């Protein structure tokens, strides 16, 4: 029996990027979009083109280079927004204009300062205008879950008549419950006369921890598109976690009688990529993709799993792209074994990138006895964010102790020579950061710093992430090493290089003036 398909609309690059502390570069957005295409999502909401020149450029780049999914651009119910989205999506193989306006009384009164009639007319005009440029138009009623249901139906009926092919029902502030939201979807389906001409979509936030449950309730009552993000990224408590929604439908297909086109074997890889590029760690006990999702601590559980995995595992780790055998390689492993392991993990690299990664793997193997899958994944996502790199770490030296003032000396390589500086700090990392500031010749506004181990063991890789700010823009840097000071220094320089690429690089003669 053929079961209905749930359309997966991914908004990691739009709503997900609104997560506090996340600031993705255009190249990083493109890489995530390519991973989403490989994951086989149906729609990629690439951004909000009118929001900034950078957003416009990244949406344009994704539209031109990512094939397969529909590429959507967000636009307020205003002609200038729609024009920007149209221009940004010009080269898309398939495109969608996604326009929205708030419909709850609280939003109309306090934010829009508009009457219901004005909002209705604005929504219809926006959809009618967007329809001139594409057949695929989605309309969202912002804060739908707190809107008057009859007014909501009036809005939806009007925009469908104007040409909307998808009507989205957002729980914008994560206020509703599964029973309530399911009832709302059912009410819309029963009271919008022309609803058969549009797909009903659900967009739920997770403020009360019910985003996935609300979305599944929406599907059970007639919504055939669900809007979500990788790892549940998004404003405040985030959005529907794509991996949780998809695996709920997959694992309980007996109950939901539905399918998606998602290649679930790409879920773990995509989750780790988004985590690395966004700087937002996946909590260990996160459903589906957390480190503990398939870990069994209790002796009773371990005994059961060893006898039959289904005793305590309702999903197979292989189904989301995790191998049960994670200890794989060492210093004597050859290129063929390395390439084979990459293929098992779901990575496809061209010859140039494969060669460069294998060299880094060998360098790591000289410092680390056993290479885990997580180590390989970390190497793949750890690379220069911008080319060329203005500053590269040549070496560092730190003297520190509980009774000693921490002192660091760093040597940076540039295209016109090297720079060596020393500084003191409140600890070894602080001293290294201050020495780097002395070397680059300007103060750096450090906003946040995180350090974690990639795998277990005394020789584990350390992954450092830093956030720096310039002109109200955040830049995320990431560094990887078995030495945490080195990882931290690399992350700091990674963020500085991103900042310089975005805000203006120093002239080579300025660097040469400080270089040896």
Quick: pLDDT tens for 33-85: 999 999 999 999 999 999 999 999 999 999 999 999 999 999 999 999 999 99
What residues contact residue 345 under an 8 Å CB cut-off, 6+ apart? 269, 321, 323, 373, 376, 377
Nearest-angstrom CA–CA distance, 309 and 322 = 15
Helix (H, G, I), strand (E, B) or coil at 189: helix
pLDDT band at 506 (very low <50, low <70, confident <90, very high): low
Q: What percent of the chain has pLDDT over 70?
A: 91
Set out the domains of the chain in order of their start, with CATH numbers. Answer: 7-278 (3.20.20.70), 323-379 (no CATH), 392-514 (3.30.160.270)
Q: What is the 3-state secondary structure (H, E, C) of 55-86?
A: HHHHHHHHHHHCCCCEEEEEEECCHHHHHHHH
Work out the burial of residue 80: count CB atoms within 10 Å of its CB; fewer than 13 is exposed, 13-18 middle, 19 or more buried: exposed
Torsion (CA) 435, 437, 439, 440 in degrees, nearest 10: 160
N-term to C-term CA, the chain: 73
DSSP code of residue 97: E
What token pair was written down for 185?
Answer: 């979807």
Indicate whether 248 pLDDT > 80. yes
Q: How far is CA 467 from CA 22, 218, 347, 450, 499, in A?
A: 9, 38, 28, 9, 11
Q: Model confidence over 333-390: pLDDT tens digits?
A: 888 888 888 877 778 888 888 888 888 888 888 887 777 777 887 888 776 656 668 8
Compute the distance between CA of residue 227 and CA of residue 241 in angstroms, rounded to an integer. 9
* Residue 234 confidence (pLDDT) above 90: yes
Q: Return the percentage of the chain with pLDDT > 90, whole number.
A: 67
Sequence-distant (6+) residues with CB within 8 A of 459 are 367, 368, 369, 482
232 pLDDT band, cuts 50/70/90, is very high
Q: Map residue 192 onto helix, strand or coil.
A: coil
Average pLDDT of the chain to the nearest whole number: 90
Between CA 358 and CA 434 the distance in angstroms is: 33
């Amino acid at each position: 029996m053929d079961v209905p398909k749930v359309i997966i609309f991914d908004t990691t690059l739009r709503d997900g990027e609104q997560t506090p502390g996340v600031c993705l570069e255009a190249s990083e957005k493109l890489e995530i979009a390519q991973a989403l295409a490989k994951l086989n999502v149906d729609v990629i909401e690439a951004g909000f083109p009118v929001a900034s020149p950078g957003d416009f450029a990244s949406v344009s780049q994704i539209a031109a280079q990512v094939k397969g999914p529909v590429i959507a651009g967000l636009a307020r119910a205003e002609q200038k927004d729609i024009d920007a989205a149209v221009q940004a999506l010009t080269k898309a193989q398939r495109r969608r204009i996604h326009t929205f306006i708030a419909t709850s009384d609280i939003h109309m009164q306090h934010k829009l300062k508009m009457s219901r009639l004005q909002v209705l007319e604005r929504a219809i005009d926006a959809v009618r205008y967007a329809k001139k440029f594409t057949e695929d138009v989605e309309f969202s009623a912002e804060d739908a879950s707190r809107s008057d249901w009859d007014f909501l139906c009036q809005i939806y009926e009007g925009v469908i008549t104007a040409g909307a092919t998808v009507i989205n029902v957002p729980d914008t502030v994560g206020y509703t419950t599964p029973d309530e939201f399911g009832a709302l979807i059912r009410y819309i389906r029963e009271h919008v006369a022309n609803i058969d001409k549009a797909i009903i979509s659900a967009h739920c936030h997770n403020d009360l921890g019910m985003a996935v449950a609300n979305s599944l309730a929406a599907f059970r009552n007639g919504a055939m598109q669900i809007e979500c993000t990788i790892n549940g990224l998004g404003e405040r408590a985030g959005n529907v976690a794509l991996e949780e929604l998809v695996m709920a439908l997959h694992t309980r297909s007996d109950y939901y009688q539905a399918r998606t086109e998602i290649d679930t074997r790409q879920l773990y890889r995509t989750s780790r990529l988004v985590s690395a590029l966004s700087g937002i760690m996946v909590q260990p006990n996160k459903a589906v993709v957390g480190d503990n999702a398939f870990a069994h601590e209790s002796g009773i559980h371990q005994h059961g799993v060893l006898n039959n995995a289904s005793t305590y595992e309702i999903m197979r780790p292989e189904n989301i792209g995790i191998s049960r055998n994670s200890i794989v390689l060492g210093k004597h492993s050859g290129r063929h074994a390395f390439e084979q392991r990459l293929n098992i993990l779901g990575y496809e690299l061209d010859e140039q990138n494969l060669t460069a990664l294998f060299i880094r793997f060998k360098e790591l193997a000289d410092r680390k006895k056993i290479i885990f899958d997580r180590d390989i994944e970390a190497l793949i996502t750890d690379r220069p964010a911008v080319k060329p790199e203005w500053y590269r770490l040549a070496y560092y030296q730190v003297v520190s102790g509980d009774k000693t003032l921490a002192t660091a000396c760093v040597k940076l390589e540039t295209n016109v020579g090297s720079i060596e500086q020393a500084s003191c700090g409140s600890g070894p990392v602080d001293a290294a950061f201050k020495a780097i500031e002395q070397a680059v010749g300007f103060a750096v506004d450090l906003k946040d710093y995180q350090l974690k181990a990639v795998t277990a063991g005394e020789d584990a890789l350390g992954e450092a992430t830093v956030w720096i700010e310039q002109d109200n823009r955040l830049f995320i840097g990431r560094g990887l090493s078995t030495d945490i000071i080195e990882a931290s220094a690399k992350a700091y320089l990674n963020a500085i290089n991103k900042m310089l690429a975005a805000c203006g690089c120093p002239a080579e003669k300025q660097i040469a003036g400080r270089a040896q």
